[in-house]
Amino acid sequence: MIQVDKLDVVYANGTRALAPTSVTFRAGQFTVLLGASGAGKSTLLRALNGLVAPTHGEVRIDGIGALSGRKAIRSHRRRTGMVFQQHQLIGRLTVLANVLIGRLGYHGSLRTLLPFSVAEKQLALDAIERVGLLDYALRRADQLSGGQQQRVGIARALVQEPNLILADEPVASLDPASADRVLGLLHKICKDDGIAAIVSLHQLEFAKRYADRIVALAAGHVVFDGPPARLGNQEIARIYGTTPIGVRQDTPQPSTLKTGTYA
């Protein structure tokens, strides 16, 4: 559904964030983006939504074509939900009002001055119910916990009736248990609705638990692309430069293999 073709992003200050990168994302697939800080994950996610323009190469979307020009970007963004790490809600507005913001892409600029339709409010309430926050629909968003706010962010993405959700470190600011709940919820909703997701994470455990496919970047290059089962210690070392402390050694090391073979 999305073809990234020799995408090269050099920022105005001369930093090359992505070296020519080609990768295809398929409909309905839950992809986790891994990579050390500065590897280019956020840049790739922004490029997939037209927030960063390619220096060379292009991003092509099925049914739309090259992601360039206002019309193409607008129609792609309408069906693309974005979930960020934090600061994504308007604190003084209710949960319901925040979720309805997800519908704005469906309205012309004049139409945004008019109230939302009953059908849209129902859609928003349904989304709020799916993320388990119906009792909070009329609360101010800044009265919710971090995990609840992330669930509101997911509901706001859902009312876009998206075929793709892009999430940049959606659980980075949550404790491990809340992070697991929020990611589990996002994963279940995407699977139930056939929504493709591309989610950047720093937690390998979660990547292995939820990803259909892992794409890893190092210094703007794709250095791994495959199912979680193929992500062994060698691959992890290539991604992060070293095996991070606390990573489970669940693939046999060469020395273990040797002992096993000759013992």
Ligand X SMILES: Nc1ncnc2c1ncn2[C@@H]1O[C@H](COP(=O)(O)OP(=O)(O)OP(=O)(O)O)[C@@H](O)[C@H]1O
Q: Summarize as ranges the residues that interact with ligand X (CB under 6 A).
A: 11, 13, 15, 17, 35, 37-43
User: Distance (Å, rounded) from C-alpha 72 to C-alpha 158?
Assistant: 21
Q: Is 163 in the site for Mg ion (CB under 5 A)?
A: no
Closest residue to bound Mg ion by CB: 42
Q: Is 49 in the site for Mg ion (CB under 5 A)?
A: no
From candidates 21, 42, 148, 150, binder to Mg ion by CB under 5 A: 42
Query: CA nearest 48: which of 15, 24, 84?
Result: 24
Measured distance between the N- and C-terminal CA atoms of the chain, rounded to whole angstroms: 49
Cβ of residue 239: shortest distance to ligand X, in angstroms? 11
Binding partner of residue 17 among Mg ion, ligand X, none, CB cut-off 5 to 8 Å per kind: ligand X
Helix axes 176-193, 146-158, angle to 10 degrees: 10
Cβ of residue 220: shortest distance to ligand X, in angstroms? 7
Side chain identity at 90, as an amino acid letter?
I
Q: Which is nearer to ligand X, 42 or 149 (CB)?
A: 42
Helix, strand and coil in the chain, % to nearest 5: 40, 25, 35
Q: Which is nearer to Mg ion, 41 or 103 (CB)?
A: 41
Cβ of residue 218: shortest distance to ligand X, in angstroms? 10
User: Distance (Å, rounded) from C-alpha 127 to C-alpha 124?
Assistant: 5
User: Distance (Å, rounded) from C-alpha 8 to C-alpha 53?
Assistant: 9
Residue 107's contacts (CB-CB under 8 Å, 6 or more residues apart) are none
Q: Which is nearer to ligand X, 39 or 82 (CB)?
A: 39
Total interface residues for Mg ion by CB under 5 A: 2
Q: Which is nearer to Mg ion, 155 or 186 (CB)?
A: 186
Q: Other C-beta atoms within 10 Å of 203: how many?
A: 17
Binding partner of residue 49 among Mg ion, ligand X, none, CB cut-off 5 to 8 Å per kind: none
SS3 32: strand
Q: Which of residues 1-30 bind Mg ion (CB under 5 A)?
A: none
Cβ of residue 38: shortest distance to ligand X, in angstroms? 4
- DSSP 8-state class, residue 94: B
Task: Provide the token pair at 52.
Answer: 């960063």
Cβ of residue 42: shortest distance to Mg ion, in angstroms? 3
Contact present, 87 and 30 (Cβ < 8 Å): no
Q: Which stretch binds Mg ion (CB under 5 A): 40-48, 135-143, 201-209, 217-225?
A: 40-48
Q: Which is nearer to Mg ion, 37 or 261 (CB)?
A: 37
User: Distance (Å, rounded) from C-alpha 15 to C-alpha 199?
Assistant: 23
Cβ of residue 39: shortest distance to ligand X, in angstroms? 4
For Mg ion, the binding residues (CB under 5 A) are 41-42
